Amino acid sequence: MYHLKCIECGAEYSKDEVIYTCRKCDGLLDVIYDYSSIKIDMEKLKTECPSVWKYAKLLPIEREPVTIREGGTPLYKCNRLAEKIGIKELYVKHEGMNPTGSFKDRGMTVGVTKALELGMNTVACASTGNTSAALAIYGAKAGIPVIVLLPAGKVALGKVAQALMHGAKVLSIRGNFDDALALVRTLCSQEKIYLLNSINPYRLEGQKTIGFEIADQLGFKVPDRVVLPVGNAGNITAIWKGFREFKKLGITDLLPKMTGIQAAGSCPIVNAIKSGAPEITPEEKPETVATAIRIGNPVNAKKALAAIRESGGTAESVTDEEILAAQKDLARLEGIGVEPASAASVAGLKKLVDMGVISRDETVVCITTGHLLKDPQTVIDVCEKPTVVDANIEAIRKAIFGKAE
Ligand SMILES: Cc1ncc(COP(=O)(O)O)c(C=O)c1O
Ligand SMILES: N[C@@H](CCOP(=O)(O)O)C(=O)O
């Protein structure tokens, strides 16, 4: 059994309501379970392969899920990257290996299923790209219409291609992501359209399974620290909830330090953590090459600040140059292809180790949130150009060895 509860005033709402924020104080909502009634079969948990629906007892869904087999993403031990950064034990949880190429699939399998459960037959979101790609695909699987609002000219090519091919109604807004989110919230409040951005607490329930999987893949042990990129700030909140729930149920006995990384041109959470402010000051004109996290007014800021503070973690910003260097390191040292926003986690880890904030002895998991092929244009822009050669062996030898013989 579960219900919704406001994180600010504690008001409670039934699971049958279509509601995104508290009617009394507009606070964010959390899904609260009756944990005493949840019985976990540890033997089954230890033997079954990780996937979102492996943890169905901790998900707020009663019907058959809309699924294309999300989750179960690899947790790579990255020794070469660890050596370069200068820490003992580093893992990368590559969420780009989800079916649509990002962690959003975990949220959408739950969110779109919940839409059907609530009798909502049209879904919508604002997006910097990945949310719209995932919603388009899960909406197609469910057979319902999808509307997506994107900031014009600021969404990576692969993500727009996914939304278009899978049949979403794509609206390109003359404005940024924060403008698009405000508009889609208004639209969903006026029409019978289900909002599937991360302000929807059910979507975050799917994403908390990243925390479950990390513990599961480490033999039900918890790393000292989890480092991840932060944009609208839903994922850091969701993963923290996942770790807390496993501890509450006695599946694990520790909690990791949650560490959020933002781009320097778009870092309201970092500013609040550094200044000790209780709330963020929105960034009016967010800018970064990592378009997925080009977000100035994260809707989940309150939950994210609490996650970072309660866990004893921190937040740091990185420049676009640091992000692009980390993207190359992941690709060339570990064979892990990620989009720029994802590489912010590794760039941030490097910066925090260099600053002495993260100890070299910590066991760290960096989360890479989206696949390299989401944003091919940035790759083309930052990599060496292909060498054009004539179609004969002399020309090829010359291009490789500098001489024909
Ligand atoms: C690839 C990628 N990484 C990171 C993020 C940030 O996640 P969140 O908005 O949950 O903080 C997003 C989207 O926001 C994303 O698409
Ligand atoms: N990067 C996100 C931004 C929207 O975040 P959401 O988690 O609130 O949907 C995207 O891919 O659109």
- Interface predicted TM-score (ipTM) of this complex, two decimals: 0.99
Q: Where are the domains of the chain?
A: 1-36, 73-99+199-380
> Across the strands, what pairs with 399?
none
Instruction: Please indicate if the annotation marks 271 as binding a ligand.
Output: no
pLDDT for 404 equals 75
pLDDT for 146 equals 98
Say how many Å lie between the CA of residue 36 and the centre of ligand 1. Answer: 33
- pTM over 0.80? The answer is yes
Q: Within the chain, what is the greatest distance between any pair of CA atoms?
A: 79
Indicate the pLDDT class of residue 405, thresholds 50, 70 and 90.
confident
Say how many Å lie between the CA of residue 191 and the centre of ligand 1. Answer: 27
Backbone angles phi, psi at 37, to 5 degrees: -95, 0
d(CA 119, CA 64): 14
Q: Which of 276, 293, 398 is nearest to 345 (CA)?
A: 293
CATH code of the region 73-99+199-380? 3.40.50.1100
Mean pLDDT of 305-334: 98
Say how many Å lie between the CA of residue 295 and the centre of ligand 2. Answer: 9
Instruction: Please indicate if the annotation marks 71 as binding a ligand.
Output: no
Q: What are the CA-CA distances from residue 16 to residues 1, 119, 369 (Å)?
A: 12, 10, 31
Indicate the pLDDT class of residue 165, thresholds 50, 70 and 90.
very high
Cβ atoms within 10 Å, residue 332: 11
Q: Which of 150, 226, 230, 375 to mutate to test the pocket of ligand 1 (most atoms within 8 A of CB)?
A: 230
Altogether, the residues listed in the chain come to a count of 405
pLDDT at 403 over 90: no
Mean pLDDT of 96-122: 98
Give the rounded distance of the alpha carbon of 321 from its chain centre.
Answer: 21
| Per-residue model confidence as pLDDT tens digits over 216-269 | 999 999 999 999 999 999 999 999 999 999 999 999 999 999 999 999 999 999
Q: What are the CA-CA distances from residue 74 to residues 198, 209, 374 (Å)?
A: 24, 13, 18
Q: What are the CA-CA distances from residue 309 to residues 7, 157, 266, 276, 362 (Å)?
A: 15, 36, 20, 10, 18
Q: Which of 401, 252, 233, 222 is nearest to 307 (CA)?
A: 233
Say how many Å lie between the CA of residue 10 and the centre of ligand 2. Answer: 26
Mean pLDDT of 395-400: 97
Calculated CA dihedral for residues 333, 129, 314, 320, nearest 10 degrees: 60
Mean pLDDT of 297-307: 98
List, in order, residues 6 or more apart from 233 with CB less than 8 Å away.
198, 260, 269, 298, 299, 300, 301, 303, 304
User: Cβ distance 339 to 352 under 8 Å?
Assistant: no
In the chain, % of residues over pLDDT 70: 100
pLDDT for 37 equals 96
Residue 391's SS3 state is coil
pLDDT at 359 over 80: yes
Mean pLDDT of 100-110: 98
Average pLDDT over all residues of the chain: 98
List, in order, residues 6 or more apart from 223 with CB less than 8 Å away.
91, 214, 256, 362, 363, 364, 365
Mean pLDDT of 94-109: 98
Nearest atom, ligand 1, residue 131 CA: 16
| Per-residue model confidence as pLDDT tens digits over 21-71 | 999 999 999 999 999 999 999 999 999 999 999 999 999 999 999 999 999
Structure tokens at 286: 């967010």
pLDDT for 55 equals 98
Strands 314-318 and 12-13: unpaired
Among protein residues, the one whose CA lies closest to atom 9 of ligand 1: 232
d(CA 405, CA 395): 10
Mean pLDDT of 336-346: 98
Strands 29-33 and 123-126: unpaired
Say how many Å lie between the CA of residue 155 and the centre of ligand 2. Answer: 11
In the chain, % of residues over pLDDT 90: 99
Q: Which of 104, 52, 75 is nearest to 234 (CA)?
A: 104
Nearest atom, ligand 2, residue 299 CA: 8
Cβ atoms within 10 Å, residue 382: 15
Judged by its nearest atom, the ligand closest to the C-alpha of residue 203 is: 2
Residues within a 6 A CB radius of ligand 2: 104, 125, 127-131, 197-198, 231-232, 234, 292
Instruction: Please indicate if the annotation marks 235 as binding a ligand.
Output: yes
Helices 234-248 and 301-311 sit at what angle, rounded to 10 degrees?
A: 50
Among protein residues, the one whose CA lies closest to atom 16 of ligand 1: 292
